[in-house]
Each structure stands twice: as C-alpha cells, then as structure tokens.
Structure 1
C-alpha cells in the first residue's frame, strides 16, 4: 500500500467512512495478494479495524469483491468517457478514443481488470455491478452504431462489428498485461500509445484506412 492510500484508508475510517475505507483496503489487498490470497480478515487488518468490522457492510468475501468490482466498472466506464471527452467529436475519433481508454484502464489497473473479467467470485448479476458494466458496454455499442449509422445491436452484421471491436481491444489489453507481445517490444518501448493507436485504427467498422 502506498503512503497516500494508507492515509486515505485511515482517514476514511476515522471520519466514519468504514465502507469506503474497506473498499480502499480491498483494492490494495487484491493488488498485493491476488484473488487467491484475498480475505476479509486481510482487508480488515489493512484497514486497521477488527476482523468483525467488515460485516457491518459486507455479508462475506464475495459481497466485498462485488462492491469492489462495481467500483472498478465505474472507473472503467469513466476512463473511456474521459478519453472521448478529450478527442474530436467525429464517430471515428470517438470509437478509437474509447478503445484507448479501455486499454489505459486495463494497464493502469490490472488487478481490477482481472477482477471484472477473469474472476468468478463477485456476483456479476448484482445491480451495483451490472449498471456501470452495462453502461461501459453501451459506450462500445454507441461507437459502433455511430460509425455504421444504424442500431448495431439490431442485426447480425452490427453485432459482428461489436464483437470484432471488443475482441481486439480486450485481447490487446490482456496481451499487454501479460507481456506477451515481445515481437512489438521495440515499438511499445518507443511509442506505446502510437502502437496501440495503429492497432485500433485497423478495426474501425466500415473504415479501411488502417
């Protein structure tokens, strides 16, 4: 845990924000211990509270991980939208910007990204998680729809474009996290953003300029 995060955990708790303090501690516990080593007791110790304290807000480990996944999904959605807000408003630029935001979040938060997409421990059917998760998905759907000029979810070709775009950006994020793109090592070291941009440009629906 960084000194800054530790101060936020302690400050949140001492000001009555036990739930927030536990979520901050849970994120650090996940980063340092991984999903296999994640425990409520470990989170409580990290937050500086009794091992029984988490029960005031979370029924069990799964409940806490569900809440943490919801926090992650909200940040994930916001990262994509923030990249879009800084980009030109045309459909192509917005599509690429959301993909850049997707990968940016994944690389900056690999533990949270793995929790959302690679773990079965959270309850992904919960409203707390499903709402921001759906909103994140709809960023992609809107981007594809704007490029196509139709409702992409309404027909097989549109859904195929959504699948293709999602598969590329998600696969690229996972490969970058895993460090498996050794053939691109020099390109990534010289210009990671540019390398990612060139890959994203090749999957713009209806556009063959890449």
Structure 2
C-alpha cells in the first residue's frame, strides 16, 4: 500500500474516534473527557432524599437550568455536577426543613446531543457517559468518504477509486490495526524473554497499550462496523494476532520459555484448551475496552487511569497467570493443543 493510501486508510480511523494524537499509557487522561459531566437543560435526574419518600422522585432540568422540588422550590442545576447538586439540595433542606439531610443524585436520562456536517448520519443522538468528540462522530456513523479524503489530502474520488466503498476503507484500517497489534505483542514477548519476564503478561500489556495509543483504530478492528470479512489480507492479519495469543497461552500453560517454532496455531474452537485461551483474551480485551470507554471512572475517578494500568500489569496479570498456571502434563503436547 502506498504512503498516500496508508494516509487515506488511517484518516478513516476518525470514523471510530482516532483523530486524537497518539498517546501512551502515561498520557491516558489526555484521551478522556476533560471533566465530569455537567448538568443542563434536558437532563432528567433521579433524586433520593433518604428517609423522605415525598421528596424522592425524577426531576427534569427545565429551560432555565433549574429543578423544582417540594419545600425548597427551584434549585440551580445548570453547569453543576451531580455531586455539587447533592450538596446544594442538602444545604437548602438544612435551612429550616431537615436537620441532617442525605441526598443522592444520579442522571436518569441524559440530554441529547447533535452532530452535523460531513458525517454519515447527522442529527440528534442520546448522550452516553464518557462521551468525547471522537465517540460522538463515531455514533453518527463516522465521517463521510469525502471528509476522509479531505483529511488525507487526496481528491474526493480517491477513497472510492482505491477501496471501492467505506467497507473497503475500514477493512484496510482493520488490517493495519491487526498487524500493529501483532507487532507490539511480538516485540513485548521478545523483551520479556530477554529480561526473564512472563511472556503472556507481556503480550497482554502490549495489547492494552496498543489500544490506548490508537483507540480509534482499535474500535475499527473490534467494533461493529461493516468490514469485508472475506478480505484475504485482513483474514491473514487477524489470524496472526489471535495465533500469537493462542501460542503464548499454550506455552505459558506448558511451562515453556517460548512457543515452539513453526506456524501459528489455527482452528482452536474445538481444542481442549479453548476455555483457557478465551479466558486470557476475555480478561485482556474486556479490561481494555472498559478502560478506553471510561467505564471504570465511577470507581477510580477520571484521573485513575494510571492506577488501573498498574493494577492490570501487577495484580490482575498475577491472577490470570495463576488461573493459567503451568501444567507439566502439557509440556509434551503438540503446538495445536
């Protein structure tokens, strides 16, 4: 693929939110929303005043940015976080109504947002937690081929000419993503061997770091987007990435320093160790996806990315390694399980 075509293929990664600059794990917070969710008109809030059923209800933020509650009337919600609104309601209730009020506020229904311009499906969409500009574009179906061409600096006809359609362009991006993932895992395994580290833990960490560095490309590879599943290059790249995971999992279970030489394993669904292979992949991929999507934020806060990376590399990998502890009985088995 020529440099210009590679640029064009990479530009489409914006369809899944990859316009952000490449970031490493230490810069994880840069890829996240800039702050906590701020309330505004259109949000519907579930407010619970403990011990006061007559005050607990669903309240809508009105056009003036306020909510109206019994006893205390209007409370300013516009621009506040749910925690800030909790404190504001408690202060009003404490001023002559309740001695020590305890209030819980959570968003029951988020206000919608709008995406207009050169996207596949412009219009109104429901907000989801952790929303960024990139994910908003992705929800709107991604940029049009014309916009991808503009960002890559090529003619508007170039994407259709070289890739046929959006599926062809996304397939090229997915192929690059699979190969990049494989290169990172192989390099990490080699470094682990040189330093006496655990190769399986090393490739799992490389999987996570690669996704964090290029979240848009990761979403194209593993998202629900239209890809040409019959494309031979993408099939090769996908089989290579999965084969590395399978080989390293089996080597770890057999207590080997490294997988034996030879072609990477395939046709693993009926293998007796398929559950162990799925465990290694599910833990790594599931954690990676939850971290990228900001689903851990309510547990560790928006600045807790580094703590989660340390947890993954240390405790979580030790647990996975223990679950897939080396089994001497496997050492003499073939490479295909």
Q: Does TM, scored on the shorter chain, surpass 0.5?
A: yes
After alignment, is 67-76 or 24-33 more displaced?
24-33
After alignment, is 19-28 or 56-65 more displaced?
19-28
TM-score (structure 1 length as normaliser): 0.79
Distance 1:186 1:70 in 2: 32
* Aligned-pair CA distance for 1:188: 4.2
Q: Are 2:173 and 2:221, in contact at CA under 8 Å, matched by a contact in 1?
A: no
Q: 1:113 and 2:218 equivalent?
A: yes
Aligned partner of residue 142 in structure 2, secondary structure = coil
Gaps of 5+ in 2: 20-136, 256-264, 327-337
Q: 1:180 and 2:295 equivalent?
A: yes
Q: Are 2:204 and 2:284, in contact at CA under 8 Å, matched by a contact in 1?
A: yes
* Equivalence for 2:180: 75
- Alpha-carbon RMSD: 2.8
- Pick from 219, 233, 241: which aligns with 1:128? 233
* Equivalence for 1:168: 283
* Aligned-pair CA distance for 1:68: 0.8
Q: How many residues align?
A: 191
* Equivalence for 1:60: 165
* Aligned-pair CA distance for 1:171: 0.6
Distance 1:51 1:82 in 2: 38
- Pick from 322, 325, 331: which aligns with 1:206? 325
Distance 1:17 1:167 in 2: 35
Q: Are 1:187 and 1:195, in contact at CA under 8 Å, matched by a contact in 2?
A: no
Structure holding more helix per residue: 1
* Equivalence for 1:27: 13
After superposition, the C-alpha distances for 1:45-66 in whole angstroms (9 at most, x for unaligned) are 1122221122331111111110
Distance 1:29 1:120 in 2: 10
Distance 1:45 1:131 in 2: 30
Going from structure 1 to structure 2, the CA distance change for 1:88 and 1:38 (only over 3 Å counts) comes to same
TM-score (structure 2 length as normaliser): 0.51
Distance 2:161 2:155 in 1: 11
Q: Are 2:192 and 2:202, in contact at CA under 8 Å, matched by a contact in 1?
A: yes
Distance 2:312 2:153 in 1: 41
Going from structure 1 to structure 2, the CA distance change for 1:112 and 1:139 (only over 3 Å counts) comes to same
Going from structure 1 to structure 2, the CA distance change for 1:113 and 1:17 (only over 3 Å counts) comes to closer
* Aligned-pair CA distance for 1:77: 0.9
* Aligned-pair CA distance for 1:177: 0.7
Structure holding more strand per residue: 2
Gaps of 5+ in 1: 1-15
Q: Are 1:83 and 1:98, in contact at CA under 8 Å, matched by a contact in 2?
A: yes
